[in-house]
Amino acid sequence: MKFNAENHISVDGDKIIIEDIKTFETWRGYQLPKDFVEFTLKYPGASMSAEFDSEGRPGSMISNMLKFSKEGYSSIYVDEAYEIKDFGPYVLFGEDPGGNFIAFDYSNDELNPAVVFIDHEELGLIELSEGKTEDDYTEAELDRMMSSEKLTDFPWAIHYVAKSFNEFLDEVKFREISIESKTTGNISDKEMKEFKEQFSMELPSIFISFMKKYSNFIKNGYERKLMNKRVNLINVLSVNTQESDYILKVIESRGGVSKFPDLIPFMYINYNWNVYDFSLLCLYKKDGRWSIVIYLEEYWSKDTYEIIDNLIYLTDNLDEFFNLLIDELEKN
């Protein structure tokens, strides 16, 4: 392992024993690799801010390991996610801030599984064979492919990362965790100036101050209420161009500026405490006035008028909102 765990991860789960591991193995039907078991016993529910390259997906992320508890959020006992109910030889063990999974792949070796990244946005999509078009299939065949509940029917959503868990840890680029880095984005005035220049409108000063301090802040704060809405606070996006959650990269990855009409996303949340939802808190400008809205994940692929019609309005009192948000971020 090429990192100092004390400086790169925090332990968020309850202490577990080997019997907890064996109980899960019996339930799932696969034996977890020894290197992963040793890591998990020492760092249950580990949280981190880290990046790695997966096949076809450079700059993939991991924010936490799943917990060996049958109750609560981020449980390793996943029996359904994104309409997938049969995970076959893939055993989920970690997740990223966007709701994607990191998993063990036992399809080629039931004793020494590889590590893969599962992109949930590619589940439910159809990737046709070379030379084929939708016209080559009946409507029933297309419906069957799109509605499959088997993960193995979506091989294009599964991206190879490493041949073992230890090799995965060696390849991951961890950000150091410290009191300072948890409470400040360490963003320079020059970086903020460059960020503001990317937008054709003057950004609110309270928003600039917030992003300068909390850029890329990882929270994973669950079952909170914000402006009377039930939300899990996941992570603040970044104004640093080198980060995978750089605001403009997020906009581009979600369909480009046409999908963000007068919207500036700044934080991932789980709306209504749904851990499989990854919606966005956004600034929204209408008729020259700024407000805070929730941009629901289910509308990211819709037309502009549907996006605007389905924004969830929170408030136009930006000072009050960001003060409330900061209070929540600073809570233990």
Name the residue ranges covered by the structural domains of the chain: 5-174, 179-330
Query: Looking at domain 5-174, which CATH architecture does it have?
Result: 3-Layer(aba) Sandwich (3.40)
Contact 308, 261 (CB under 8 A): yes
d(CA 55, CA 35): 22
CB of 288 closer than 8 Å to CB of 316: no
Cα atoms found within 13 Å of the Cα of residue 148, Cβ hemisphere only: 19
Asked if residues 228 and 213 have their Cβ atoms less than 8 Å apart, the reply is no
Q: Could you state, in chain order, the average pLDDT of each consecutive group of 10 residues for the chain (332 residues)?
A: 60 83 96 94 86 89 88 84 91 87 95 94 64 65 73 90 95 66 55 81 87 83 87 90 84 88 93 89 94 94 90 94 88 69
Question: The domain 179-330: what is its CATH number?
Answer: 3.40.1580
Q: How far is CA 243 from CA 57, 60, 175, 322, in A?
A: 14, 11, 11, 23
The CA angle 219-85-115, to the nearest 5 degrees, is 60
| Topology match between the domains 5-174 and 179-330 | yes
CA 214 from chain centre, in angstroms, equals 17
pLDDT number for residue 178 = 45
